[in-house]
Amino acid sequence: SIICTASVAGLRSGAGGPAYTASKAGVINLVRIGAQQLTGSNVRCNAICPGLIETGMTEFIYSKAREKGFEDKIGQLNPMQRGGVPNEIAEAALFLASDRSSYVNGHALVVDGGLTSSHPYARQRFGQTAT
């Protein structure tokens, strides 16, 4: 199993800078191409698309939020209303590496607390529709 790290930024605009977004979109398409190119090899090729995860890359965001007392605002745009932790990405990778995902191939698995389920500024509440 080949597992690449992409990002929700590769799926939607506004989740990263232009170069980062374009590169992550490229990773997503690369795993799709890989799935096709590896036909018959019994090798699966997938990507994980993390949302906001507390890592070295996002340390500045988390540090500033904590410094200003806005830690509760981290991840507020996703339905889980929190940022993710590295272990949640590791669990997704373990799933993709295991036989439990034996029929998952050419897929970009989103692990983002639901951020990409809707436009974050027009989140629909249960039982309501956007106006």
Which has the closest alpha carbon to 51: 91, 4, 86? 86
In this structure, the number of other CB atoms found within 10 A of the CB of residue 78 comes to 21
Instruction: Transcribe 43-103 into DSSP letters.
Output: --EEEEEE-SB-STTTHHHHHHHHHTT-GGGTTTTSTT-S-B-HHHHHHHHHHHHSGGGTT
Query: What's the gap between Cα 56 and its chain centre?
Result: 16
Active site residue 121: no
Residue tagged active-site, from 20, 62, 103, 121: 20
Span between the terminal Cα atoms of the chain, in Å: 44
Q: What amino acid positions are annotated as catalytic residues?
A: 20
